Amino acid sequence: MSTPKVTLERPLAKPPLPTLIWRHVELRVRKATSSMRALPDFVIAGAQKCGTSSMHQYFLQHPCLLPASIKEVHFFDGGLDPNWDKYAEGETLYRSYFPLRSRVNRKNALCFEASPDYIFNPVAAERMAQIIPNAKIVVLLRDPVERAISHYFHERRRGRETECIEIAFARENERLAVPMEQRAYKDTVFINQSYKLRGRYAEQLELLYRHFPVENVLVIESEAFFEEPMTSLEQVLAFVGMESFPVTIDVKPTGKGANRTEVPNSIRDHLSDYFSEPNEALADLLGRRFRWM
């Protein structure tokens, strides 16, 4: 069974000019037909480095789940390009990323997207509620210690972090002070160097719950998903009202970095202390505990 072709919006290498021209033309055509296009039935909203890429890839193999035309739409967070505010372009742009309703109806399908910054961005939940108020929201949460470390090496791999891990974590509050004070949530520092802040999950979920009913939000422990992906995938399918996979699928993990090195115990101890209270707040909010709490 072939899977839909989904492209990264911001590849590491700049694509050739003909590709850029084609993407521009395609986007114009999609925007011109936006009124005929569907909106997503569910959104994988994060968190970053918690398995969202793998879940997205697995769902591409379901014949009745239709993805957005790019891997991460990043509409409700305004997008990753500091010079382009996607949200300012409105619903027409957002719809342009999704299939035509006629195709969705013909296949009796559901549409979805996965943008891992939605759970973290302070304005995304309210924006989502305005355009897709009935959507189901799926959130993956990983041990925030491991998430922060993985995030750090992700930024090193892409050349956006030059400090050693000790200094990067120690300077986080200092680095984020200005963009947070200015509510500059598209600032690249806020997006790329928020290693510890992103792991304060309870605060992010509380904001999401202000705009979406609790019953419309499914929170999954990433470690359980990593260990038994099919169990978590079936849980999501039941949550969104879709039948099981008709065939066996490939559940090889994606998005794993190759540049990770050993991290000093002092770093893990620092992170464990930092996340102790936020993890307790998360346990109280969810009424259950994950293995890393």
pTM score > 0.75 for this model? yes
Binning pLDDT at 50, 70 and 90, where does residue 69 land?
very high
Q: Residue 16 is which amino acid?
A: P
- Helix, strand, or coil (residue 142): coil
Q: What is the spatial order of strands in the sheet that 65-67 belongs to?
A: 65-67, 110-114, 42-44, 136-141, 217-221
Q: What confidence tens digit (pLDDT) does each residue in 70-93 have?
A: 989 999 999 999 999 999 999 999
Q: Are 61 and 3 in contact (CB under 8 A)?
A: yes
How large a percentage of the chain has pLDDT more than 90?
A: 86
Q: What confidence tens digit (pLDDT) does each residue in 168-192 have?
A: 999 999 999 999 999 999 999 999 9
| Alpha helices by DSSP H, 85-228 | 91-96, 101-107, 124-131, 144-157, 165-170, 172-181, 188-192, 201-209, 222-227
